[in-house]
Amino acid sequence: MPISTVNIRKLALILLLGFSSGLPLALSGATLQAWFTTTGISIVAIGELTLVGQPYIYKFLWAPLLDRYIPPLLGRRRGWLIITQLGLIIAIAAMAFGDPNVNPYLLAGLGVAVAFISATQDIAFDAYRTDILTEKELGLGAALTTAGYRIAMLVSGGLALVLAAKFGWRVTYLIMASLMLIGLLASWLSEEPVYSKQKNTAPENLWVAIKNPFQEFLKRKAALLILLFIVLYKIGDAFSLSLMTPFLIRGLGFSLTTVGMVFKGFGFLATIAGASVAGLIMIRLSLYRSLFLFGVAQIIAILMLYALALVGKNYLMLVTAIVTDSFCNGMGSTALVAYLMSLCDHRYTATQFALLSAFASIGRILAGPIAGILVTHISWTSFFICAVIISIPSLILLKILQPHIHMKKSR
């Protein structure tokens, strides 16, 4: 399918909604920690601020509410987007008037509110994106979401610190609140997904909204293998990235400035490029072939890190390895998100996507502690070989699941 046949306006709005989805994350996370740090508050207290982001982990618990209840205006998906975006504008603006010196608990509480509303916006956006995109738009939709999300994180995580140094925290958070108007405008200009008659009906009660998504998915052929594949597809990637900063600084001896510029700078651009290229490729390539091709690419990326570990402190090799790794990981993430979207029944999109994405994050959550223990007993080169080995089972599973992998979405 040529690019001219996809809905450019729709995809542009997906990009803006991706920006809206990513903007609040740092404002209740790294940027909020930076604000507390400048006041001289203890490291222990700042460490406890990481708990502010807990709603992102448990968002699947209230996802059924967004399937069950339809707001009175703008429909089931756009209605929830508008509600959460208005809530974020108010909550982020309220944070602007907080003061960690005067009442740190109130400011932290507002951070929790921002994280909760933001996680709810993510539920609504994931459901909207899944329901509105056609089969061939899934890859591009996932890629544009990644681009918008990461640009927003750069704005609220990097630019916000520059603004705070120049204008203060109050002005910074008010500016960030105003940037949420981008998502609000995108939601207003978007169209509500069109469903078949039987798919347009919300679950009859909350219990049905909780129970039926599980039942519907588990009745599918190879349901458990599909869940296992989702867990394993990016586990090698998560494993290798979990200790990337210690590897570059302690293992190879690169400076903080070099790591920041290459890993955070070039890596950021390469991730967006990889996601974008994957989206374009997936217009013409089947979902199965995309998952396989990008899965192999992820293994090649880990082998580049292995080569870097062999070579040692070499700046050209550093840039080559990081750019390759970030590019390939961006491609893999795009394919996986497209696959998760293809699995959702449109009656229960919010709940099923939240649950499936939770399974996809299991590897990332478990990788860090296991990797830390492993690296204390083996070399960095052996560590990356282990990452390659644990990447292979997902490709074997993918081959087994080939008859069950397609982009068909029932409407």
Question: Domain spans of the chain?
Answer: 3-194, 209-404
HEC letters along 156-175: HHHHHHHHHHHHCHHHHHHH
Q: For residue 195, what pLDDT is reported?
A: 65
Question: What is the rounded distance in angstroms from the CA atom of residue 39 to the CA atom of residue 46?
Answer: 11
Query: What number of other Cβ atoms are within 10 A of residue 72's Cβ?
Result: 6
Q: For residue 344, what pLDDT is reported?
A: 87
Q: Look-up: residue for tokens 């588990």? A: 218
Q: For residue 410, what pLDDT is reported?
A: 45
Q: What is the mean pLDDT of residues 338-365?
A: 85
Collect all residues with Cβ–Cβ distance below 8 Å to 296 and sequence separation of at least 6.
Answer: 395
Q: For residue 201, what pLDDT is reported?
A: 64
Local confidence band at 187 (pLDDT 50, 70, 90 cut-offs): very high
Q: What is the DSSP annotation of 197-248?
A: GGGSSPPSSHHHHHHHHHHHHHTSTTHHHHHHHHHHTTHHHHHHHTTHHHII
Local confidence band at 1 (pLDDT 50, 70, 90 cut-offs): very low
- Between 37-51, 234-248, 320-334, the lowest mean confidence (pLDDT) is in 37-51
Asked whether the predicted pLDDT for residue 8 surpasses 90, the reply is no
pTM for this predicted structure = 0.81
Question: What is the rounded distance in angstroms from the CA atom of residue 291 to the CA atom of residue 338?
Answer: 9
Asked whether the predicted pLDDT for residue 114 surpasses 60, the reply is yes
Distances (CA, A) of 18 to 25, 200, 259: 12, 25, 27
Asked whether the predicted pLDDT for residue 411 surpasses 50, the reply is no
Question: What is the rounded distance in angstroms from the CA atom of residue 157 to the CA atom of residue 33?
Answer: 11
> How high does pLDDT run on average in the chain?
86
Question: What is the rounded distance in angstroms from the CA atom of residue 84 to the CA atom of residue 125?
Answer: 10
Question: What is the rounded distance in angstroms from the CA atom of residue 65 to the CA atom of residue 389?
Answer: 40
Hey, what CATH topology would domain 209-404 get? Growth Hormone; Chain: A; (1.20.1250)
Q: What is the mean pLDDT of residues 196-224?
A: 78
Asked whether the predicted pLDDT for residue 5 surpasses 70, the reply is no
Asked whether the predicted pLDDT for residue 259 surpasses 60, the reply is yes
- Between 64-68, 174-178, 184-188, 200-204, the lowest mean confidence (pLDDT) is in 200-204
Local confidence band at 199 (pLDDT 50, 70, 90 cut-offs): low
* Position with higher pLDDT, 391 vs 193: 391
- Between 109-113, 197-201, 328-332, the lowest mean confidence (pLDDT) is in 197-201
Same fold for the pair 3-194 and 209-404: yes
CATH superfamily of 3-194: MFS general substrate transporter like domains (1.20.1250.20)
- Between 105-109, 182-186, 304-308, the lowest mean confidence (pLDDT) is in 105-109
Share of the chain above pLDDT 90, in %: 41
